[in-house]
Structure 1
Amino acid sequence: MKSNKITTVWTQKEQFESNNPSGHKLTMFSAADEENKDTVGFGPKALMLSSLAGCSGLDVVSLLKKMRAEVDEFKIEVTAELTEEHPKFYNKVKVDYHFTGSDLKEDKIKKVVDLSVDKYCGVMEMFRQFADVKTEIFLHKI
């Protein structure tokens, strides 16, 4: 069974530095500091949303390549709602997939997004354990 290990170290005030299994590092800070433009890093909850988009996005681009369905641009927007009471967690999540191109293959795009959402993206499955997750595909033809 595969496992991952990270190390997170308190660096200053309300900031931590965390590594990933390959040794790359990122800074996390208090959500109250997310408005601070001088701090480079992520709040832990925002990082969760980035992980969700990244996991699914990596699936999608890999599957699009295998299916020979090229797109000029691809972005994912994730909007999430936090509960009011502590511990605050995301209870509603919306994942919007935006594809831009001149020759978008709608059927293949839908298929690869569905495969990511329903089969391959482990982070999506983790989110489904605690949140109502909705997805939508947007095609932007140029």
Structure 2
Amino acid sequence: MSHKVVTHWKGNLQFESDNPSGKTMLIDTSPENGGYNSGFAPKAMMLSSLAGCSGLDVVSILKKMKVPFSDFRIDTFGELTEEHPKYYHTVSVEYHLYGENLDEAKIKKAVDLSVEKYCGVMEMFRRFSEVKTSIHYHNV
């Protein structure tokens, strides 16, 4: 399977990128780099892709396992190299799940399955960075 994404320059440092689903998004950079901050920054978008990929897995697995939760957030942190080309040499992914009487064993299993087996973006990140994960249970 292959994907095609078309990214079209919109002027200055802005680009509009499509998705196989037909949705579009704006890519830009910060004013200190000559942009307008009007869209997603490319490197930060990679962290969003990582969190989104793993999050989709975790929610799907938890639904199949019939594990209830009331909220779910993923905090992703990337540490850039000092020299160009700058890339994330270390990434931390923190899974925060909220709910009453959370089933920690099943949640851990769902996260582990995503991290170790299903999330392709996670596997791509492992090719160039050290990926650390943690799970935080918030029983409310």
Range into which the TM-score falls when normalised by the shorter chain: over 0.9
Query: Matched residues, percent identical?
Result: 58
Asked if residue 88 in structure 1 is aligned to residue 98 in structure 2, the reply is no
TM-score by length of 2: 0.95
Contact residue 34 and residue 43 of structure 1 kept, 8 A: no
State the match for 1:28 in structure 2: 27
State the match for 2:4 in structure 1: 5
State the match for 1:43 in structure 2: 41
Question: After the TM superposition, which segments of 4 or more aligned residues of structure 1 sit over 6 Å from their partners?
Answer: none
**Aligned-residue RMSD, C-alpha:** 1.7
Give the counterpart letter for 1:41 in structure 2: G
- 1:33 CA drift (Å): 3.8
Contact residue 82 and residue 90 of structure 1 kept, 8 A: yes
Q: Where in structure 2 are there 5+ consecutive unaligned residues?
A: none
How many residues are matched?
139
State the match for 2:16 in structure 1: 17
Residue in structure 1 matching 2:103, options 80, 102, 105: 105
TM-score by length of 1: 0.94
Q: Where in structure 1 are there 5+ consecutive unaligned residues?
A: none
* Inter-partner Cα distance in structure 2 for 1:13 and 1:41: 13
